[in-house]
Each structure stands twice: as structure tokens, then as C-alpha cells.
Amino acid sequence: IALHGHSSPIEKTSAWPTKARICVWFTYAQIVFNVLTHMFWRVGPQMTRIPEQEIEVFNTVQLVLVPTMLAAVIFFISEQFCRNPQRPAALIMSRLVIFECFIKIAYYTVLAKYNGGFAHVNLRAFGPERPIYLPRWIGWSLAIPTLIAMNTYPMMDTVPFPVFFRRILPMQAATMSYCWSCYLGCIIYDPWMGWFLISLGCMGYVSIIADQ
């Protein structure tokens, strides 16, 4: 391949391009500022009275996600045991869908059964008081990186899964860190630091979109 002046898809994908490195830089920056915020900035009040309408929505969503997860499980079983030859990309994708549904069912169940889980007042919201939920933040920190893997799955048609995973790792790390930044930015008292963290998270989000 090298003698003919061409590179394989694996060689093209194994090194992070500039856009991926920008995601890494934003990840590092967000981790540093988030840790400093945990250490030196004061968190706002908890919200104990969650609107009843939101609890009803949480109950509905968790029930809607169950048949979706069951469909993914059935597809995985059919691919695993009924198809010959097997399609590795299809097996990986079905596992990702199952994991995505499991995470969402888990945090919506916590939100529904435990009065919103652990909620703070969103101090950056305009208008009436709005809750921001710790279980949802944790769930999004896992679910959104999984969605990125699902969104970029065509890459698995040309490269092995370890190479694919290494290529999307900067996007996934930046996603988890921007969820963290925006959550913290909404619940700390200091509006200047709060909006700074939210802005940093938005820039991290833009870097992820650019890398895709």
C-alpha cells in the first residue's frame, strides 16, 4: 500500500486529526475548571418540590423505552444465533442500543420513583424555578457518548472496532465533560462562573459537532 502512495482506512483513522485534538483540549480545560468549581464555588439549594407533571412524564418515558429495548434484544439474539455469517457491526450496534435504552430506563425510573432523584434549583434558568436533576446528568453523561458511537457506526464497515473506538474517544470524552460543565454551571451560586462553565460546555459541544 505504501509503495503505491495510498494509505489504508485503518492508517487514516488511527491518528487523531486536528478536530479530534481540539475535543481533547476542551476536555482537559473542562475537567480542570470543573474540579476547581467543586473545590471553591458554593452549590445552590436543592429543589424538593418537583412538578407533578414532570413525574408523570418520567413514568411515561420509562414505559415507552421498554419495548424499544426488547426489540433491540430480539434483534441481537437473531443476529447472534440465526444469521450465518454474522455481521459484527450489527452485533455491536444492537449492544449499543440495548445499553442506551438500559441507561435511560434506569435514570427515568429513579426520576419517577424518587421524586426527581436528587434535584437542585437551576440558577441559570429564566422565569419560574426549574429543577435540574442529578440522575439525568449522570444518565446523559453515559447515554450521549453512546449515541455518538451509534451515529458514527458506518466507520465500522472499514476499520476494526478498537480503531473505531479510539477515533471517537475524543468526542465521547468531550461529551461527558460538557455535560459536567453545564450541570455545574447551572447549580452554583456565582453567575459569572456559572455562565463561564456553560459557555465552555457549549464550545466543547461545537468541537464535537465539528469532529463528526
Asked whether residue 184 is domain-assigned, the answer is: yes
Asked whether residue 4 is domain-assigned, the answer is: no
Q: What is the pLDDT of residues 29-87, one digit of tens each?
A: 999 999 999 999 999 999 878 888 888 888 888 888 888 888 888 888 887 777 666 67
Asked whether residue 3 is domain-assigned, the answer is: no
Asked whether residue 6 is domain-assigned, the answer is: no
Please count the structural domains in the chain.
1
Asked whether residue 54 is domain-assigned, the answer is: yes
Which residue is it, cell 447549580?
187
Q: For the domain that residue 53 is a member of, what is the CATH number?
A: 1.20.1070.10
Asked whether residue 161 is domain-assigned, the answer is: yes
Coil/strand/helix, residue 8: coil
| Contacting residues for 186 by C-beta, under 8 A, at least 6 apart | 120, 122, 123, 124, 125, 132, 194, 198
Q: What is the pLDDT of residues 109-139, one digit of tens each?
A: 888 888 777 889 999 988 888 889 999 899 9
- In angstroms, rounded to a whole number, what is the distance separating the alpha carbons of residues 107 and 85? 36
Residue range of the domain that includes 106: 16-211
Asked whether residue 113 is domain-assigned, the answer is: yes
Asked whether residue 66 is domain-assigned, the answer is: yes
Predicted TM-score (pTM) of this structure: 0.82
